[in-house]
Amino acid sequence: MTAVRCVDLCKTYRQGDEDIKALDHLSIEIDSGDFVCLMSPSGGGKTTLLNAIGGLDLPDSGEVWVGDQRVDRMSKGELADLRLANIGFVFQAYNLIPVLTAQENVEFVMQVQGVPSAERRSKSLAILEEVGLEGLESRRPAEMSGGQQQRVAVARAIVSRPELVLADEPTANLDSRTSAELMELFVALNEHHNTTFVIATHDQSVMKYTRRLVRMRDGRIVEDIAQHAA
């Protein structure tokens, strides 16, 4: 079953007097439960593709489908609903709401979804334990390390069991040990929950954890290979 389908996507940004083609007639299909790494140098188009899939940014032309829903034709409200119900996000930085504790951050999406309080509490505690943050539930982001914050972000992204998790440079601000721990966590979650992961990165060490490597350059896919994860 196809989790994501992009057809002939184009997106151009204006930078000064220059037009930058972030996506250049790009097409890609990602199966449900897949673990994909989008890799490119800076400006290669991976973040733009991730944003288009997540409905954070609209392409100039082409089609974006998540499951059977056409994303590029949705209103702002419909996009918000899609993200809330179907997609988990992990960003490079500024991932957490600073005025909420780790547990409240994890519960945030469920609370917006209307999950009852007791269920929220049990799910959030369980997922925090799963990502190795037991005992840090009441800490605020400023009281946690970068790695711990990313783990909270991951916990929040997967706690409501989205079909798709989009991670943009999740290891960029982490040391190599913490990066490895985070990627192992992604792999475990992918295997245990069959969640589709799409990770945009230029960190070479990340690709060994993924089952599919998509290399991009100048808004185009230049290589798309299946591989054995570490």
Partner 1 sequence: MRMLSVLSRLAWRYLWRNHRRTIVMLGAISIGAWAMIFMTALTRGMVDQMILDGISALPGHVQVHHPDYLDDPSINNLLPLDDEELERRFAGAGFVAWSSRVKVPAVITSERESRGVTLLGIDPAAERGLTFIDEENIDGRFLEGPDDKGIVIGAKLARTLETEVGKRVVLMSQDPDNDIADRGFRIIGLFHASMPDHEDGYVFVGKRVAQNMLRIGGATTEVVFLGDDYRNVEPTYEQVLAAVDGSVSVKRWNEVATYLGSMLEVMDGFVVIWVIVIFLALSFGLVNTLVMAVFERVREIGLMMALGMKPSAILGQIILESMLLLIVGLAIGDLLAWASIQPIKDGLDISIVAEGMEMMGASSILYPKLLLQDVVLANVVVLILGFLASLSPAWRASRYEPVEAITKV
| Contact string (CB under 8 A) for partner 1, positions 178-207, x = contact | ------------------------------
Q: Please state whether beta strands 35-39 and 212-217 pair in parallel, antiparallel, or not at all (unpaired).
A: parallel
CB of 55 to partner 1, least distance (A): 8
For partner 1, which residue of 2, 43, 57, 63 counts as binding (CB under 8 A)?
57
Q: Should residue 10 be labelled a site residue for partner 1 when binding is judged by CB under 8 A?
A: no
Q: Which stretch binds partner 1 (CB under 8 A): 35-43, 49-57, 66-74, 171-179?
A: 49-57
Task: Give the end-to-end CA distance of the chain in Å, rounded to a whole number.
Answer: 24
For partner 1, which residue of 19, 27, 99, 224 counts as binding (CB under 8 A)?
99
- CA–CA separation, 104 vs 9, rounded Å? 37
For partner 1, which residue of 10, 56, 74, 180 counts as binding (CB under 8 A)?
56
For partner 1, which residue of 21, 33, 108, 220 counts as binding (CB under 8 A)?
108
Q: Should residue 209 be labelled a site residue for partner 1 when binding is judged by CB under 8 A?
A: no
Q: Could you give the C-alpha distances from 53 to 32, 67, 172, in angstroms and in order?
A: 14, 11, 21
Nearest to 65 by CA among 52, 81, 56, 84: 52
Work out whether the CA dihedral 160, 178, 174, 171 comes out positive or negative.
negative
